Chains A and B, each alone.
Chain A
Amino acid sequence: MQNNIRNFSIIAHIDHGKSTLADRLLQITGALSDREMKEQFLDKMDLEREKGITIKLQPVRLNYQAKDGQNYIINLIDTPGHVDFSYEVSRSLAACEGALLVVDATQGIEAQTLANVYMAMDLNLEIIGVVNKIDLPGAEPDTVKEEMENVLGIDKNDIIPISAKLGVGIDQVLEAIVNNIPPPAGDDDAPLQALIFDSYFDPYKGAICYIRVKSGQIVKGQMIKMMSSGKEFEVSDIGILSPYMTEVESLKSGEVGFLAAGIKNVIDTKVGDTITGTAHPAQNPLSGYQEVKPVVFCGLYPLENNDFERLREALEKLKLNDASLLYEPETSDALGFGFRCGFLGLLHLEIIKERLEREYNLSLLATAPSVIYKIILTDDSEVLVQNPNHWPAPQKIDRVLEPFVKAVIMVPNDYVGTVMELCQEKRGQFLTLEYLTTHRVMVNYKLPLSEILYDFFDGLKSRTRGYASLDYEISGYEVSDLVKMDIMLNGEIVDALSYIVHKEKAVYRARAVVERLRKIIPRQMYEVVVQAGIGSRIIARESVKALRKDVLAKCYGGDITRKKKLLEKQKEGKKRMKQIGHIEVPKEAFMTVLNIEAND
């Protein structure tokens, strides 16, 4: 049977048609009846469907009768399409023998796709090239094929032109999967090694792992062990997703499925970990496992102080499903009780915040995101700081290091100049520039992570009319000349507004921040003075003049209802405000601090 199994991933840039192709595969193989079919079936979260972005499709098993007359089991194991989740990409790919590379015939290869393809190549996966959206008027499948051949060395004659939307070329894709991707190797009788490539929390069954059995087999009732922690569990359910959960007695070498073992906490089912049996344990885990560490931190505070406990409960619940989310309580003089949270990236942060607000009906205030700085003190000791308020006093600091990334930007050559300008503005160091085709260029830069976190991507998109794509990986820490900027409202430091900034940019940024705060803080009973300073030195100042008029001059029988609606609106507006001392500050203010360019 193992010979008739094919495990593959789809590598595609956002919007290049991954979900649509997956839908089509489900339909053609009969995994779903037309009645069950809804658009983007495998997108799990409402948020994903709504934003039109797929973070990750759920795995699915398809049955396919190929042209050679044999029946095949084809497992689709998806990779997340966003840089925040690139660790998960590598683990998903590690569960496969092949990958479909889907490229939009109107766009060409994007930076992230490239990074993921390289990852697949490193893992010796068989790559099947597919050019999608050939039905669109602007499609240039031949140019894109050329590009794929030049950049990735995929023979352009092997690349399959398809239209997932119209269902053109899907048969060829299925045949290529069967014919080109090798069947899994692995011995059913060897000790068990199963790779966890994803997991989530089910309130009834506990943590559910999605696994790929690499060798040996796993049966219901068996005792298993997580090789990274040594924790042991008894398997209560195993099964396949076709696409609904279907229980089976065993999963053999090469198979993909799910497993439940009364695991109370999703932290015990770490992506990348190896499961083995307790009776005949494997000697070594599968290679490549790492702990995933958050790189972006921010404070999350409930707008209503008494929602603190509800926020804690909501975070606990989300954490069950997302082991990479970190949180610990913190207090701010300005904002009261909240949590310092760690995320894989800004998209991850946004998703978590939005889910907390939407699914748990919380109104939250997020402080400006921060990276982790390494500070070497004058006594040679080292501290890690991810909250500007823990920044040591300047006289105690010997030097500061900040995380840098290696960024890959792919862009039509008309825009190279503007992209390089942007990188320079963001304190980038130029590395290399390569031509992919005569009119597409790949630019490599080293950039501080903190500079690309907030508005870099937006800036890149707007300067290149959406044509640029970006990928990056953290390359290490380097010394930087950084200072802590404090923001004061009527002379009082608002701790939640403090931020870390490069010394050369401090004045420009302080002015921009103060100006922006002047614009978004509504006029109040008294004048509000907004200042920015480093230590005791003030470097920017603006003031919000006192409110003089807020009145409905006329209110008679005919328009009481209408006038009340105005007051209702005003009351709603107040709900978005955080009271700091006597000053009402809109909740966006806190995120805004480091997002100057994107907003203006």
Chain B
Amino acid sequence: MVIEAKPVGVYIHIPFCKNKCIYCDFYSVNNSDEHLLNDYCQAVICEIRAASEQLHNILVTTIFFGGGTPSLLNSRNIKGILDTIKDSFPVLPTAEITVEANPATIDAPKMDQYLEAGVNRFSVGAQSFSDQELSVLGRIHKADDILRIVELFHKKKIKNFNLDLIYGIPGQSIKRWEANLTKAIDCIPAHISAYLLQLGSETVMARMAAQNIIELCDENTEAEMYERTIDLLSGCGFRHYELSNFSRPEFKCQHNLIYWRGENYLGFGAGAVSYIDNRRFINQPDLVDYIKNLTSGKKQAVEELENMTMKEQVSDTIILGLRLCEGININELNQRYSINIEKEYGKAIDNNIQKGLLNYKNGQLFLTRRGYFLSNEVLCHFIA
């Protein structure tokens, strides 16, 4: 009997920062102590090994180091983790292996060693090309740091790198945002993620806004910025492929596509989330506990976030799939879940097509350009 291997993406969470940004609500601690980082990576290695005992018939297609600030890790740690993954699971030879990098934490030798270890894609947290805006965001790097790291990429012929940008920064004008975009385009990246600044209620910045210490951009400005982003980037050869993501052809982020296509992924590290066999889990995000448990042969406590019924899986796939500009293929979904989407969600689909937020063409259901920035209005109708 032949069992087809299940493709999975592997996510490694590195919850350390030199200085946590005031708009971020991901799990991370302000600590970059070498010993702590080493211990943590050892624990991650233990977790991967333990998982390989239980998971069979999988094929790793992408690996992504996210954070936090993964570029704080020295190359031995990156290599150690990558080697462990390769020892523990079959890994596709062409697998995309990404490391998120803060421009201020990486130099030429480190980059060489990362490449040596197998990293083939960098995602740079550039955020802005204005030092003033960077300081509003509480970033540790300056605009020059971005230019320096980009220069390194070009010198080393690394094409596959992404720049993360943020718009809607307090005080930012549409013009200044366009200037940032132009500078980003000049860097000739393969990929640009342009994110609207959206604050979790627990972030420092949200509290500052609530107390009127800073003033957030108004909705119209934000919407205008988004429109300009699409126009500018599309005009420069980038394809808009997800609500906030743009890439040159062939350079979509393979790892992130796994999320939006509702496919399986394994998360390792404190606070990492996994999605496998229709269930979502999260590792308890306590760093000290995590290191202690894993290095002493125990397991980290895991919380099940979701155990989805068929109906919820369908809803999940639609909600995530509609984030992609290509949308979802109705026939494919009908087959994958043996249902009739048009019957099940006919009213929601028709309503939103009428409102001009959705479109249906050649078997694909997708958001219209107008629908992108109003997508919650559409997506909430598909919640199970």
Segment of B79-87, B106-114, B369-377 in the binding face: B369-377
Nearest neighbor of B242 in chain A, beta-carbon distance: A555
Give bound CA distance, A566 to B243, whole Å.
Answer: 17
**Are the C-beta atoms of A554 and B374 separated by less than 8 Å?**
no
Least Cβ–Cβ distance between A305 and chain B, in angstroms: 13
Digitize B290-321: 1 where CB-to-A-CB distance is under 8 Å, 0 elsewhere.
00000000000000011000000000100110
Q: Is B195 an interface residue (CB 8 A)?
A: yes
CA distance A558 to B316 in the complex (A): 14
Q: In the complex, what distance in Å separates the CA atom of A566 from the CA atom of B272?
A: 20
Residue pair A557, B373 in contact (C-beta under 8 Å): no
Looking at the assembled complex, report how far the CB atom of A549 sits from the nearest CB atom of chain B, in whole angstroms. Answer: 5
Asked whether B222 is an interface residue with its Cβ less than 8 Å from the other chain, the reply is yes
Most buried by B among A559, A564, A566: A564
Contact: B374 with A557, CB < 8 Å? no
Contact B222 A557 (CB under 8 A): no
Contact assessment for B374 and A551 in the assembled complex, using a CB-CB cutoff below 8 Å = yes
Specify which of B26, B219, B320, B357 is in contact with A548 (CB 8 Å cutoff).
B219
Which listed residue, B220, B258, B356, B375, touches A551 by the CB 8 Å rule?
B375
A561: Cβ under 8 A from any B Cβ: yes
Contact of A547 among B196, B258, B260, B374 (CB under 8 A): B374
Question: Nearest A residue to B377 by beta-carbon distance?
Answer: A550
B198 within 8 A of A: yes
User: By the criterion CB–CB under 8 Å, are B319 and A551 in contact?
Assistant: no
**Contact among A554, A557, A570 for B11, CB-based, below 8 A:** A557
Closest to B194 in A: A553
Determine if A574 is an interface residue (Cβ-Cβ < 8 Å). yes
A548–B220 CA distance with the chains assembled, in angstroms: 6
Total count of chain B residues near the partner, CB < 8 A: 44
Q: Counting CB contacts under 8 A, is A248 at the interface?
A: no
A549-B222, A549-B374 given; A555·B380 CB < 8 A = no
* A393 CB–B CB distance under 8 Å: no
The reply to whether B273 and A525 contact each other, CB–CB distance below 8 Å, is no
Whether B267 pairs with A550 at a CB distance below 8 angstroms is no
- Contact assessment for A570 and B380 in the assembled complex, using a CB-CB cutoff below 8 Å: yes
Tell me whether B222 and A558 are in contact (CB under 8 A): no
Interface check B383, CB cutoff 8 A: yes
Q: Are B223 and A571 in contact (CB under 8 A)?
A: no
Q: Which residues of A contact B383 (CB under 8 A)?
A: 564, 567-568, 571
Among the listed B66, B258, B320, B373, which residue makes an inter-chain contact with A555, where contact means beta carbons less than 8 Å apart? B320
Instruction: Point out the residues of chain B lying under 8 angstroms from A567, CB to CB.
Output: 319, 376, 379-380, 383
Among A547, A552, A553, residue most surrounded by chain B Cβ atoms (within 10 Å): A553
A551 close to B196 (CB less than 8 A): yes
- For window 191-233 of chain B, which residues contact chain A by CB distance below 8 Å? 195-196, 198, 219-220, 222-223
Q: Is the CB of A558 within 8 A of B305?
A: no
Q: Does B381 contact A (CB under 8 A)?
A: yes
- Residues of A contacting B244 with CB < 8 Å? 553-554
- Check A557 against B259 for contact (C-beta < 8 Å): yes
Contacts of A568 in B (CB 8 A): 380, 383
Given A525-B355, A557-B275, the answer on whether A551 and B373 have CB atoms closer than 8 Å is yes
**Given contacts A548-B222, A549-B374, A567-B379, is CB(A554)–CB(B198) below 8 Å?**
yes
B315 and chain A: residue at smallest CB distance: A564
Pair B219/A552 contact, Cβ less than 8 Å: no
**Shortest Cβ distance from B16 into chain A, in angstroms?**
16
Q: How far is the CB of B171 from chain A (nearest CB, A)?
A: 18
User: Shortest CB–CB separation between residue A510 and chain B, in angstroms?
Assistant: 28
Q: Does B132 contact A (CB under 8 A)?
A: no
Q: Which residues of B contact A560 (CB under 8 A)?
A: 259, 273, 275, 280, 316, 320
Task: Collect the chain B residues with CB atoms within 8 Å of residue A551's CB.
Answer: 196, 243, 372-376
Would you call A556 an interface residue if the criterion is a C-beta within 8 Å of the partner chain's C-beta atoms?
yes
Pair B380/A556 contact, Cβ less than 8 Å: no
Taking a contact as CB atoms under 8 Å apart, the answer to whether A571 and B256 are in contact is: no
Asked if B265 CB lies within 8 Å of chain A CBs, one says yes
Which of B11, B316, B381 contacts A571, CB < 8 Å? B381
User: Contact between B380 and A571 (Cβ–Cβ < 8 Å)?
Assistant: yes
Chain B residues whose C-beta falls within 8 Å of the C-beta of A557 in the assembled complex: 9, 11, 258-259, 265, 267, 273, 275
- B323: CB under 8 A from chain A? yes
Docked-complex contact B256 and A556, CB < 8 angstroms: yes
Are B380 and A549 touching (Cβ within 8 A)? no
8 Å CB interface, B142-195 against A: 195
| A570 to B280 alpha-carbon distance, docked (Å) | 22
Q: How would residues 240 to 268 of chain B score, 1 for a CB under 8 Å from any chain A CB and 0 otherwise?
A: 00011000000000001011100001010
Query: In the complex, which residue of chain B has the Cβ closest to the Cβ of A561?
Result: B305
Contacts of A555 in B (CB 8 A): 243, 259-260, 320, 323
Check if B243 sits within 8 Å of A574, measured CB to CB: no
Chain B contacts with A in 334-376, Cβ cutoff 8 A: 355-357, 372-376
CA distance A496 to B25 in the complex (A): 45
Inter-subunit contact A550/B320 (CB<8 Å): no
Report which residue of A551, A552, A564 has the largest number of chain B beta carbons within 10 angstroms of its beta carbon: A551
Q: A487–B383 Cα gap in the complex (Å)?
A: 34
Q: Give 30 pairs: A residue, B residue, CB < 8 Å, sorted on A.
A: A547-B374, A548-B223, A549-B196, A549-B223, A550-B375, A550-B376, A551-B373, A551-B375, A552-B243, A552-B376, A553-B195, A554-B195, A554-B244, A557-B9, A557-B265, A557-B267, A557-B275, A558-B11, A558-B13, A558-B26, A558-B66, A558-B273, A560-B259, A560-B273, A560-B316, A561-B306, A567-B380, A570-B380, A571-B383, A574-B381
Residues of A within 8 A of B (CB): 525, 547-561, 564, 566-568, 570-571, 574, 582
Apart from A549-B223, A549-B373, A551-B196, 6 more pairs, CB < 8 Å: A552-B243, A552-B376, A556-B256, A557-B275, A558-B66, A567-B383
Q: Which residues of B contact A (CB under 8 A)?
A: 9, 11, 13, 26, 66, 195-196, 198, 219-220, 222-223, 243-244, 256, 258-260, 265, 267, 271-273, 275, 280, 305-306, 316, 319-320, 323, 355-357, 372-377, 379-381, 383
**When A and B form their complex, which 9 residue pairs have the shortest distance between CB atoms, in order from nearest?**
A548-B223, A553-B196, A570-B380, A550-B376, A561-B305, A571-B380, A567-B380, A549-B219, A558-B273
